[in-house]
Amino acid sequence: MKRLRWVAGAVVLAVLAGGGVAAATRDAPRPAGRYVTDDDGRALILHGFNTASSAKSTPDGLPELSEADVEREYRDMGTNFVRFLLQWRAVEPSPGTYDMKYLDKVAERIAWYRTRGYHVMLDMHQDLWGNGITPSKVAGNGAPQWATFMDGLPVAAGQPMWELYYLEPGVIRAFDNFWNTTGGHPDLMDRYARAWKAVADRFKDDPAVIGYDLMNEPWGGSVQGAAFETGPLAALYRKTIAEIRSVDPDSWIFLEPQAVGVNWGLPSALPYFDDPRGGPARIAFAPHLYPLPLDLGDDYTAGSREWTDRTLGWWRENILRTAERMKAPILLGEFGLDMTRPGAADLVERILDLTDENAMGRAYWSRDPGSWGPYDKGRAGPLVGVYARPYPRAVGGVPVRVVWDEKAVKLTITFDANETGPTEVYLPAATFPKGGEASLGTAAWDAGKRILTVTTKTSGRLDLVITPA
């Protein structure tokens, strides 16, 4: 039965993706060649976690997280990035009133990351619109109650997967009212954009905050696909970009496509967005990746592994094509699965290889304790070993590709050097117990942080090879 379901799902996906696949073989796009950069202009390879799903349901909207948790994460995996969940309900508890105490508590958590050299992206998270969706056990989160208008339409409880609630009339109506498809609530998108202005105003000078992910997994309600992405979603993004830029010219703005379909590898229609900042644009594309066979309950094994690998190929081609249109660097904002299932560690490695080969950043879903996360009941699970992987955190040039050859214990970073600064490489204890040696330039090893800083010549294409010391 399960097998039948994924076969059916895969066939639907193949038919839907047909156009994209054909186009992909005709003119495969080249890797994005655009990067999120730090203040010196070095390209950043962002490697980290979504933190955390718990923020969806805590009364104060903060994730269940301590500074010791951040310390442990760095010690165990050397991450340099966090996609930190915010909740609109906590930012703006009543219309036009922004909760500065909440933002101060967020700032306190950002400081835990800042002292350890992390970059923080703030993610205005939502699933199924908001906590005000009834019945409450459907796991809606994000939007405040005052912005939730279901117009008396029902939501049937007891769906087998949380995503299926997106198809319930009450949830669809809440979105239709937000996008003002109904014509009844022209103010809600402006409120959302101004809530972002308040957040940006609070964090614009925090050096650890790299940018803002404007909306998690946008859902169009009764307007779907290209009509949604080029219509109401693009309108919301333009409004929000303008509000943010009125106070913060420098932070990166991360835009997500419609989640349904694109998460499975289908093309997105998200258009190019102008960045009114003066200077090079700082707009990035931040899609998610959840292959359909796994969504349908299969594992990364046998026939479903083959379909999942095809999905990864489509996803890559379609994401690169959209990023090319948007002239934007790419961050994989979410991927993840139950790590206790067969093949799970292989899939995570495969996705880390894919993002390395295209020098994209990535954030695993999620940092929460449990079978998906790195730790369960306080103990490190299989994800920790896979995620503790050598990678260049910052590159003094434009990365072309990163290849981690685990068998040969060799990390190769190909990049076009520029004058932005040294390249910093994280080297985990398991594979580089005494640190690393660099094939080029001069290297300095920080044993405490497990970072090799390599200064190379400042121009030309380089293959920097790191092997164990």
Which residue ranges make up the site for ligand IDC (CB under 6 A)? 53, 56, 127, 139, 141, 162, 216-217, 288, 290, 334, 365
| DSSP per-residue string spanning 225-276 | HHHHHHTHHHHHHHHHHHHHHTT-SSSEEEE---STTGGGTPPP-------T
Nearer to ligand IDC, 322 or 423 (CB): 322
Distance of CA 294 to the CA centre of its chain: 19
Nearer to ligand IDC, 284 or 443 (CB): 284
Instruction: Please tell me the distance from the alpha carbon of residue 28 to that of residue 19, in angstroms, as a whole number.
Output: 13
- CB of 172 or CB of 398, closer to ligand IDC: 172
In the complex with ligand IDC, the residue whose CB is nearer, 181 or 366, is: 366
Q: How far is the CB of 75 from ligand IDC (least distance, A)?
A: 25
CB nearer to ligand IDC: give 219 or 445.
219
343 or 436: CB nearest ligand IDC:
343
Taking the C-alpha atoms of residue 456 and residue 439, their distance in angstroms, rounded to an integer, is 10
- The tokens of 295 are what? 């969504």
Q: State the nearest-atom distance from the C-beta of 15 to ligand IDC, in Å.
A: 22
Query: In the complex with ligand IDC, which residue's Cβ is closer, 159 or 182?
Result: 159
Query: Nearest approach, Cβ of 301 to ligand IDC (angstroms)?
Result: 20
Which of 270, 214, 219 is CA-nearest to residue 244? 214
Nearest-approach distance from CB 324 to ligand IDC, in angstroms: 24
Q: How far is the CB of 152 from ligand IDC (least distance, A)?
A: 24
Distance between CA atoms of residues 357 and 353, nearest Å: 6
Residue 433 DSSP symbol = T
Q: What's the Cα-to-Cα distance from 231 to each of 3, 170, 397, 407, rounded to whole Å?
A: 37, 22, 37, 48
Nearest distance in Å: CB 223, ligand IDC: 20
Nearer to ligand IDC, 29 or 225 (CB): 225
Q: From the CB of residue 394, how many other CB atoms can be counted at a distance below 10 Å?
A: 24
**CB 219 → ligand IDC: shortest distance, Å?**
11
Query: In the complex, what is the shortest distance from the CB of residue 85 to ligand IDC, in angstroms, rounded to a whole number?
Result: 8
Rounded to 10 degrees, the C-alpha dihedral 312/313/319/322 comes to -160
Of 241 and 259, the one with the shorter C-beta distance to ligand IDC is: 259
In 3D space, the residue among 35, 34, 69 whose CA is nearest the CA of residue 54 turns out to be 69
We find the least distance from the C-beta atom of residue 54 to ligand IDC, in angstroms, to be 9
Gap between the Cα atoms of 391 and 357, Å rounded: 12
The position carrying tokens 């400081």 is 111
Q: How far is CA 283 from CA 26, 326, 364, 384, in A?
A: 28, 8, 21, 31
Beta strands across the sheet bearing 436-438:
397-405, 410-417, 460-468, 436-438
The minimum distance between CB 401 and ligand IDC, in angstroms, equals: 28
Establish whether the linkage from the previous residue to 52 is cis, with ω within 30° of 0. Answer: yes
Nearest Cα to 450, choosing from 393, 409, 367, 384? 393
